[in-house]
Amino acid sequence: MFKYILTRILYFIPTLLIITLLTFLLSQAAPGDPVETRLQGGTQGAQGGGMSEKQAGEKAYIDMSKKLGLDLPAFYFSLTSMAQPKDLHKVYRKKERENLQRLIAEYGNWEEINAFYLSIKELETSLFEVPRDSNTFAGLQTMKEGINSLLNNYEDIKMSADLALMEEAVNRVSKVKVDSVTYTEVAYFSSVKPIFEQLKTNYAAIKANATPWKTKVPKFNWIGTGNQYHVWLFGNKPWFGSSEDPSLKGGFIRGDFGESYLDGRPVSSIIGDALPITMGLNLISVFIAYAFSVWLGVFLSKRKDTKLDRSVSIVLFILYSLPGFWVATIFIVYLTTNEYGLDWFPTYGLFSNDLSETASKWEVFKDLGAHIILPIIAMTYGSFTYITRQMRGSMLTVLKQDYIRTAVAKGLPDQVVTWKHAFRNSLIPIITMFASLFPVMISGSVVIEVIFSIPGMGRVGYEAVLARNYPVLFTVLIFSAVLTMVGILVADILYSVADPRISFTKKK
């Protein structure tokens, strides 16, 4: 058995690597820009100000990209086309990088595409030299919208239309009154016109010098350990000794799960606060569900097809049919407020807001108990039916076995036959179900925790999904996967404990 356990634990390593790789690929394919999310739109607002604000916004974006480790290539190697450069990751903004990839796939000539991209950025910077007044407002607005469109579009029809509108704005001339009779024409955009003409020339070069055949020639690029996946999983800190550099990361396997995109808080701290709450609630719920349902399943198996068996089964199936969110809502409406029902329990949270800091442990315990009774009931009642029916069916199957008939024929008491001979061998389905509860211990009950405002893992995961807070979300995903593997291993061990005939070692 020890050899089997050791072998299974060794299998965890490649399995875990595959899980982390799939999780990382999901993070790469996830929509949205993590840097913009982390900065909470700060760089977007800076683009509308002066040159100094623009530069500050760009620097903030680049610094945050480096802090999140997004300034590195994605993986140890990349399989691209001959048209795509190895260092495309140095274009920091995700949307711009993705658009450049689409242009490369369309035309295949990176040199011309890169020159076009740089001329867009140069034009964007040169607009700050144009005076801002009523004469230039409309033109500047057109230019900014056109630049933003060029950075995020790759279709020729749309880009040509944008360039035409921008050219009209660049060539616009305003008449300025010199005296009561004389007017003079002023070209406010004359300083940016040469840059815009170069932009048009570079775009024409992309179409004229297109080499789409390069997109069909594969190219293998070796990156090495300086990539996002390696740093995310293993970190770039020294394994031995300490480092004072705050930019170095410990890696997932060393407990550094990254930072929340919302507030920069370490994910390990978020998980550390929420996990004990979820595990506590689930342990109580599982204990109640199994203690009651296992006993009830054995009890009903001895009274098969009686009125009591049918009545209890009907009640259990009625409970099973009631949605958890509906029951939780009914509890809140009718048992936590005196407006519609009885004000017996607190409405939300784990502790009362008016609980004194000097309250005794018994007062804290009573307050906590009053808050968790309804959530635990809402989490537990639905399990009664399934576990009870599984236990009842398994017991009925075992009670028909020959060795049970032999035990009865020998005159053994009914309690001994039931609990000593039949019960142990009927636990296999229950053990299988129990193993699946391990990931639930960390993922929690999303609906119940959200309805009752319980700050557990379910609510943390739900809020992470809404906010696209991927470091938190993917940490919960990986922990759930690990606990799934642990649950399967524990189930195999419990199989052997429940039934010695089950062995995972080869018999000679």
Q: Does one domain contain both 95 and 167?
A: yes
**In contact, 112 and 214? CB cutoff 8 Å:** no
Q: What is the domain range of residue 219?
A: 2-231
Give the DSSP per-residue string, 181-208: S-EEEE-TTTTTHHHHHHHHHHHHHHHH
What residues have CB less than 8 Å from 143, skipping those under 6 apart?
123, 127, 166, 169, 170, 189, 192
Categorize the per-residue pLDDT at 470 as very low, low, confident or very high, splitting at 50, 70 and 90: confident
pLDDT tens across 76-126, in order? Answer: 998 999 999 988 888 888 889 999 999 999 999 999 999 999 999 999 999
**In contact, 285 and 458? CB cutoff 8 Å:** no
243 domain-assigned: no
pLDDT at 177: 61
Q: Distance between CA atoms of 96 and 492, rounded to whole angstroms?
A: 51
Domain boundary among 187, 203, 231: 231
pLDDT at 258: 85
pLDDT tens across 310-362, in order? Answer: 999 999 999 889 888 899 889 988 888 877 767 888 888 888 877 777 778 88
173 domain-assigned: yes
CA angle at 225 for the pair 223 and 227, rounded to the nearest 5°? 70
**In contact, 430 and 286? CB cutoff 8 Å:** no
Q: Does one domain contain both 46 and 103?
A: yes
Q: Does one domain contain both 273 and 164?
A: no
* Average of per-residue pLDDT values in the chain: 84
CA angle at 333 for the pair 287 and 368, rounded to the nearest 5°? 40
Q: Does one domain contain both 313 and 220?
A: no
Q: Quote the number of domains for the chain.
A: 2
**In contact, 359 and 353? CB cutoff 8 Å:** no
- pTM surpassing 0.95? no
Give the DSSP per-residue string, 108-125: --HHHHHHHHHHHHHHHH
Q: Does one domain contain both 403 and 301?
A: yes
As given in the structure block, the two tokens for residue 405 are 């008939």
124 domain-assigned: yes
51 domain-assigned: yes
Q: Does one domain contain both 224 and 304?
A: no
Q: Does one domain contain both 288 and 218?
A: no
State the pairing for strand pair 174-177/77-81: unpaired
Assign residue 326 the CATH number of its domain: 1.10.3720.10
Q: Does one domain contain both 300 and 358?
A: yes
504 domain-assigned: no
Q: Does one domain contain both 170 and 225?
A: yes
Categorize the per-residue pLDDT at 504 as very low, low, confident or very high, splitting at 50, 70 and 90: low
Mean pLDDT (whole number) for 222-244: 82
Domain boundary among 207, 231, 255: 231
Q: Distance between CA atoms of 297 and 264, rounded to whole angstroms?
A: 49
pLDDT tens across 404-459, in order? Answer: 888 888 888 888 888 888 888 888 888 888 777 777 766 667 888 888 888 888 88
351 domain-assigned: yes
pLDDT tens across 74-90, in order? Answer: 899 989 999 999 888 88
Q: Does one domain contain both 226 and 271?
A: no
Q: Distance between CA atoms of 478 and 24, rounded to whole angstroms?
A: 10
Q: Does one domain contain both 317 and 380?
A: yes
506 domain-assigned: no
CA angle at 10 for the pair 9 and 13, rounded to the nearest 5°? 100
261 domain-assigned: no
* Residue that wins the pLDDT comparison between 48 and 128: 128
Is residue 50 over pLDDT 70? no
Can you tell me which residue has the tokens 């599982």?
Answer: 286
**In contact, 188 and 136? CB cutoff 8 Å:** yes
pLDDT tens across 356-389, in order? Answer: 777 788 888 888 888 889 999 988 888 888 889 9
pLDDT tens across 2-18, in order? Answer: 777 788 788 888 888 89
Q: Distance between CA atoms of 346 and 363, rounded to whole angstroms?
A: 15
What residues have CB less than 8 Å from 501, skipping those under 6 apart?
none
CA angle at 427 for the pair 422 and 430, rounded to the nearest 5°? 150
Is residue 55 over pLDDT 80? no
Q: Does one domain contain both 160 and 292?
A: no
Domain boundary among 180, 204, 231: 231
